[in-house]
A and B are shown apart, each in its own frame.
Chain A
Amino acid sequence: MAREAAKSLRISHVGLRGIVGDGMTAAHVLDFASAFGTFLEPGGAVVIGRDPRSSGVMIREGVIAGLLACGCDVVDLGVVSTPVIQNAIRRLDAAGGVSIGASHNAAEWNALKFFGRNATYLSTAEASELLDIYHLKKFTFVDWNRLGVLRSENTAIDLYLDELAGVFDFNALRGIRVVIDCSNGTSSLILQRMNARFGFKFVLINEHLEGVSFAHEPATTRDTVMLQLAPLMKPLQADAGFLFDVDSDRVAMASEDGTAASEEIMLPLLADYLLPRGGGKLIITNLSTTALVEEIAARHGGTVVRVPVGRQAAIDALSSYRPEQVALAGEGTGAVMMPQFRFVYDGIASMLAVLSMMHERKKKLGEIIASYPRYSILKGQVPLVSQRVPALLAALRTRYKDGRQNAADGLRVDWPERWFHVRVSQTEPIVRIICEQRGDPPTELYDALLEEVRRFA
């Protein structure tokens, strides 16, 4: 029972997330919004937006009430993607922002994500302060005559597209034949606007904004790409296919021949595109992401920095480097940040970078991917009570002491052309096993790991 309840509400450094009505309630939303209004430095408005989930209507009301009560003016962008919110925070010199949406989770989930004045996710230190305020419930509500004022803005998508148009050559890209699965999410609004305003010819599926029944799980994985997008590639003679999650910060791909690309490929692909263009040489990624990144980085004199899994670790790592040192940050889930966009996870920008690469190399997506050495990754999970984790990790460290070990997040062990990562999920009581090899799948290692983990389950 307790385990089930714990799964449907999660309050952590990345914000508030839960199943609405069964874990996440209006009271949580009010208190978190009030805590954020208390946390923010006075001055500047707070930008908010939401994804199309039905519960977003309720959560929006609570977020507005909490912020106004703390004296924050609120700019409501309506249904927009998370990157559009982040863009508006910078453009309006706002004090911060709140994104209402559960990204790649199923429809019954929702979440609040918080952004600071620089439009990036809160650092761990800032998020800790926000959590402390939330738990203390001592909010600074202002007097009745100093309450914030709400206004709506409906030009945010166009202004965001203006910024993208300044970085990418829209004229060169609009001829590429692209099919896109919007997962019933906010990418649809942006892509339709690109077609109407800039003459792109994106063919969109699942472009209807949906509050309750998504056409498929909105996760940016190879499996979801294979459902509807990949089979359309050949019949529509598309050069590339993309699939976005609901709030458009993540993206997955399909090739022109109808194969779904591994979700791991986006980061190495963008590394290959961005590293030779000058600028930073660092690529920040997590311990579970493909080693193809290292191989490609090495070709262009780049260096890979590996951090624990999770958005928070990437955000903290980014803040410890000067922006001009960094070429790219991201993970093997299709969530990638580029310095041109002040390190915002942005699926649309990632797609445009891939299209630019195709244009410059005069190749289709599958041709570019095929030019890379083959890496085979195996992923699995085993239920395990948290108490047994230290013993498991100790056993693994002893058994695999011939490799290079990294214990920053569970255990990663590297050998030449082969590695594994065993870590505990932050959201469920399971152990994840990721295992990769250059060339054929590392089946033997994977099976041995599964067996070892199961001994502790």
Chain B
Amino acid sequence: MPRREHLLKIGVSGIRGVVGEFLTPALACAFAQAFGTYVRGGRVVVGRDTRSSGEMLQHAVACGLLAAGCEVVETGILPTPTIQIYVGATQAQGGIAITASHNPAEYNALKLFNAGGLFFNNYERSELIDLYHQSDFRQASNAEIRRVVSDHLSAVQIHFDRVLAHVDAPRIRARKFRVALDAVNGAGSLVSPRFLGETLGCELAAISIDPTKPFPREAEPRAEVLGDLVDLVRRTKSDIGFAQDPDGDRLAVVDENGSVLDGDDILALAVDAALRRLPGDVVVNLTTSSVIDDVARAHGRRVWRTPVGEANVVETMQSVNAAIGGEGSNGGVIFPAVHLCRDSYTGMAFLLDRMAETGEAISTLAGRLPRYFRRLGKVSFEHGRLGGLMQELETQFPSAETDRSDGLKVTLPGGWIHVRASNTEPLLRVAVEARSPQEVEDLYGTVLRLFGKSE
């Protein structure tokens, strides 16, 4: 079977696709009507990021929700975590964020939240998708159709207040940090300058904060695409630089020397900050660095591992009542005391708070973390062949500890290997971690060799 790019995907994670031929208004409307049926009418919050297709899809989504008898609260352009917090705070029946997050500009998607403002869990998602396929939607009559209410103001303040309750804001303000920002012209364009400048008293140097303009760089804030922010940090001699993705859940950090921090280290610093303040365990996915285990151990806390995906991490966080969690690869910090969602604002506040508390540079704080070396890679791969590779790996390391909850993770005395199939593309994702660069290359080479053997 020829491999085809997945330009439209309707599945348990919602609906995602390239706008135009693939992601059509009719699909978005039908999906929203299924959602409105699932939440049995009631108030539903709808917000979006800055993608040019957001306005069209917002109207399609509102149409479907109204047709199902929902009242629509339209928040305009907001970061996804802000929307989620607002859903929970206003006791809405649910929420829909129109954003393809870190995917390229031509994509868009619907992210679905339940009454608490949490991502739908696996059960909710499969019920919704069944409802969508059955097309047996609630059809409100004229007398049952409700209205569209606009609230573009209150959500941001609610979000800020939640975050500020967990850091020492006066202490941060007193330091008058010089901060560089790259908001990728996304949903953080207006919110982040307000947060860092007005609220936390930072001296801000910002680029890409025009929500009417296209994304000036790749949407995902990978180290390779943050050259402009690195230059900005160096030019303005900033203490720290922050980069967001278009919907403001992911965070990348540049230190005062212009080096891009590892996502796992950002999470580790946030975990350290959180565990200093609150009791509870830590939840991360299988691919997140062992640095988290070291930080948690220092606080005498346990680390729980989950399959990759924010929803999986959040579900486990709920069940173990975790203090903090996240996914290292994307700098996503999930801090339930603010909200059970990935939130770049919590991440920014924690790092600034630690800098203010210790008086140390961000590079010093990061440099004090235990040092691990990692290699993340992807190999073009037929999904059906993962099993063979997993068997080969287990045979190769007979005494290793294994976890099969998401592909295979093999934990060795000096490091680990994690192989899993991508959810979205015909790719195998390979992650290895060890104490030295040489060990990393050896382990990665082993995987590639076994991969060849399993063919």
Residues in A lying within 8 Å of B, measured CB to CB: 19-22, 25-27, 29-31, 34, 53-55, 57-59, 61-62, 64-66, 68-69, 107-110, 139, 141-145, 147-150, 211-212
Contact with A along B13-35 (1 / 0, CB 8 A): 00000111100111011100100
A419 to B231, CA, bound (A): 89
- Please determine whether A30 and B53 come into contact, CB atoms closer than 8 angstroms: no
Is B52 part of the contact surface with A, judged by Cβ < 8 Å?
Answer: yes
- Please determine whether B67 and A25 come into contact, CB atoms closer than 8 angstroms: yes
Cβ contacts under 8 Å, A62 to chain B: 25, 29, 59-60, 63, 67
Ranked nearest first, the 7 interchain pairs of A and B with the lowest CB-CB distance are A58-B66, A65-B60, A26-B67, A62-B63, A61-B63, A21-B139, A144-B19
Choice from B19, B63, B143, B146 contacting A26 with Cβ under 8 Å: B63
- Please determine whether B67 and A65 come into contact, CB atoms closer than 8 angstroms: no
- Please determine whether B56 and A34 come into contact, CB atoms closer than 8 angstroms: no
* 8 A–B contacts from the bound complex (CB under 8 Å): A20-B139, A22-B141, A25-B139, A27-B33, A54-B146, A61-B62, A107-B143, A149-B55
- Please determine whether A21 and B140 come into contact, CB atoms closer than 8 angstroms: yes
- Please determine whether A21 and B67 come into contact, CB atoms closer than 8 angstroms: yes
A150 to B52, CA, bound (A): 12
Is B151 part of the contact surface with A, judged by Cβ < 8 Å?
Answer: no
Cβ contacts under 8 Å, A69 to chain B: 24-25, 56, 60
Query: Please, which residue of chain B has its CB at the minimum distance from the CB of A139?
Result: B24
Task: Evaluate whether A212 and B142 lie within 8 angstroms (CB atoms) in the complex, with A27-B26, A27-B30, A144-B106 already known.
Answer: yes
- Please determine whether A21 and B55 come into contact, CB atoms closer than 8 angstroms: no
- Please determine whether B141 and A29 come into contact, CB atoms closer than 8 angstroms: no
- Please determine whether B142 and A110 come into contact, CB atoms closer than 8 angstroms: yes
- Which among A34, A66, A142 has the highest number of chain B CB atoms within 10 Å? A66
Choice from A29, A55, A109 contacting B145 with Cβ under 8 Å: A55
Cβ contacts under 8 Å, B29 to chain A: 26-27, 30, 62, 65
A55 to B144, CA, bound (A): 9
Cβ contacts under 8 Å, B140 to chain A: 20-21, 58
Is B131 part of the contact surface with A, judged by Cβ < 8 Å?
Answer: no
- Please determine whether B145 and A61 come into contact, CB atoms closer than 8 angstroms: no
Kindly provide the distance from the CB of B165 to the nearest chain A CB, expressed in whole angstroms: 37
- Please determine whether B142 and A53 come into contact, CB atoms closer than 8 angstroms: yes
- Please determine whether B67 and A148 come into contact, CB atoms closer than 8 angstroms: no
Cβ contacts under 8 Å, B52 to chain A: 144-145, 147
Choice from B20, B62, B63, B137 contacting A141 with Cβ under 8 Å: B20
Which residues B25-74 have CB closer than 8 A to chain A?
25-26, 28-30, 33, 51-53, 55-57, 59-60, 62-64, 66-67
Kindly provide the distance from the CB of B319 to the nearest chain A CB, expressed in whole angstroms: 37
A141 to B67, CA, bound (A): 23
- Please determine whether A148 and B56 come into contact, CB atoms closer than 8 angstroms: yes
A421 to B57, CA, bound (A): 50
A200 to B214, CA, bound (A): 51
Cβ contacts under 8 Å, A109 to chain B: 142
- Please determine whether B142 and A107 come into contact, CB atoms closer than 8 angstroms: yes
Query: Please, which residue of chain B has its CB at the minimum distance from the CB of A143?
Result: B20
- Please determine whether A58 and B63 come into contact, CB atoms closer than 8 angstroms: yes
A172 to B66, CA, bound (A): 47
Is B108 part of the contact surface with A, judged by Cβ < 8 Å?
Answer: yes
Is B233 part of the contact surface with A, judged by Cβ < 8 Å?
Answer: no
Task: Evaluate whether A29 and B56 lie within 8 angstroms (CB atoms) in the complex, with A34-B26, A54-B145 already known.
Answer: no
Residues in B lying within 8 Å of A, measured CB to CB: 18-21, 24-26, 28-30, 33, 51-53, 55-57, 59-60, 62-64, 66-67, 105-106, 108, 137, 139-148, 214
- Please determine whether A141 and B141 come into contact, CB atoms closer than 8 angstroms: no
Choice from B18, B26, B139, B146 contacting A22 with Cβ under 8 Å: B139
Task: Evaluate whether A55 and B55 lie within 8 angstroms (CB atoms) in the complex, with A26-B29, A65-B29, A144-B19 already known.
Answer: no
- Please determine whether A20 and B24 come into contact, CB atoms closer than 8 angstroms: no
Cβ contacts under 8 Å, A20 to chain B: 139-142, 145
Query: Please, which residue of chain A has its CB at the minimum distance from the CB of B51?
Result: A144
Cβ contacts under 8 Å, A66 to chain B: 25-26, 60
- Please determine whether B106 and A143 come into contact, CB atoms closer than 8 angstroms: yes
Task: Evaluate whether A61 and B148 lie within 8 angstroms (CB atoms) in the complex, with A26-B64, A108-B141 already known.
Answer: yes
A65 to B63, CA, bound (A): 8
A66 to B141, CA, bound (A): 22
Query: Please, which residue of chain B has its CB at the minimum distance from the CB of A150?
Result: B55
A30 to B64, CA, bound (A): 10
A54 to B30, CA, bound (A): 20
- Please determine whether A61 and B66 come into contact, CB atoms closer than 8 angstroms: yes
Choice from A61, A144, A145, A211 contacting B142 with Cβ under 8 Å: A211
Cβ contacts under 8 Å, A19 to chain B: 141-142
- Please determine whether A144 and B18 come into contact, CB atoms closer than 8 angstroms: yes
- Please determine whether A57 and B145 come into contact, CB atoms closer than 8 angstroms: yes
Kindly provide the distance from the CB of B159 to the nearest chain A CB, expressed in whole angstroms: 26
- Please determine whether A21 and B142 come into contact, CB atoms closer than 8 angstroms: yes
Cβ contacts under 8 Å, B56 to chain A: 64-65, 68-69, 147-148
Kindly provide the distance from the CB of B31 to the nearest chain A CB, expressed in whole angstroms: 11
Cβ contacts under 8 Å, A143 to chain B: 19-20, 106
* Additional A-B contacts beyond A26-B33, A65-B28 (16; CB < 8 A): A21-B145, A22-B139, A27-B26, A27-B29, A54-B146, A55-B141, A55-B145, A57-B147, A61-B63, A61-B66, A107-B142, A108-B143, A110-B142, A148-B56, A211-B142, A212-B142
Cβ contacts under 8 Å, B64 to chain A: 26
Task: Evaluate whether A21 and B144 lie within 8 angstroms (CB atoms) in the complex, with A62-B29, A65-B57, A147-B53 already known.
Answer: yes
Choice from A30, A55, A61, A145 contacting B26 with Cβ under 8 Å: A30
Kindly provide the distance from the CB of B16 to the nearest chain A CB, expressed in whole angstroms: 13
A141 to B108, CA, bound (A): 15
A148 to B108, CA, bound (A): 16
- Please determine whether A141 and B21 come into contact, CB atoms closer than 8 angstroms: yes
Kindly provide the distance from the CB of A251 to the nearest chain B CB, expressed in whole angstroms: 24
- Which among B67, B105, B142, B214 has the highest number of chain A CB atoms within 10 Å? B142
Task: Evaluate whether A141 and B142 lie within 8 angstroms (CB atoms) in the complex, with A58-B63, A61-B63, A62-B63 already known.
Answer: no
Cβ contacts under 8 Å, A110 to chain B: 142
Choice from B53, B66, B67 contacting A144 with Cβ under 8 Å: B53
Query: Please, which residue of chain A has its CB at the minimum distance from the CB of B140?
Result: A21
Choice from A142, A144, A147, A211 contacting B105 with Cβ under 8 Å: A144
Kindly provide the distance from the CB of A137 to the nearest chain B CB, expressed in whole angstroms: 9
A31 to B25, CA, bound (A): 9
Kindly provide the distance from the CB of B265 to the nearest chain A CB, expressed in whole angstroms: 35
Cβ contacts under 8 Å, B66 to chain A: 26, 57-58, 61
Task: Evaluate whether A65 and B59 lie within 8 angstroms (CB atoms) in the complex, with A21-B67, A34-B25, A145-B52 already known.
Answer: yes
Kindly provide the distance from the CB of B235 to the nearest chain A CB, expressed in whole angstroms: 31
Kindly provide the distance from the CB of B74 to the nearest chain A CB, expressed in whole angstroms: 10
Cβ contacts under 8 Å, B20 to chain A: 141-144
Cβ contacts under 8 Å, A65 to chain B: 25, 28-29, 56-57, 59-60, 63
Cβ contacts under 8 Å, A147 to chain B: 19, 52-53, 55-56
Kindly provide the distance from the CB of A68 to the nearest chain B CB, expressed in whole angstroms: 4
Query: Please, which residue of chain B has its CB at the minimum distance from the CB of A102?
Result: B142
A20 to B140, CA, bound (A): 7
- Which among A34, A53, A142, A147 has the highest number of chain B CB atoms within 10 Å? A147
- Which among B28, B57, B67 has the highest number of chain A CB atoms within 10 Å? B67
A68 to B105, CA, bound (A): 17
Kindly provide the distance from the CB of B227 to the nearest chain A CB, expressed in whole angstroms: 24
A387 to B145, CA, bound (A): 39
Query: Please, which residue of chain A has its CB at the minimum distance from the CB of B56?
Result: A68
Kindly provide the distance from the CB of A236 to the nearest chain B CB, expressed in whole angstroms: 32
Kindly provide the distance from the CB of B308 to the nearest chain A CB, expressed in whole angstroms: 28
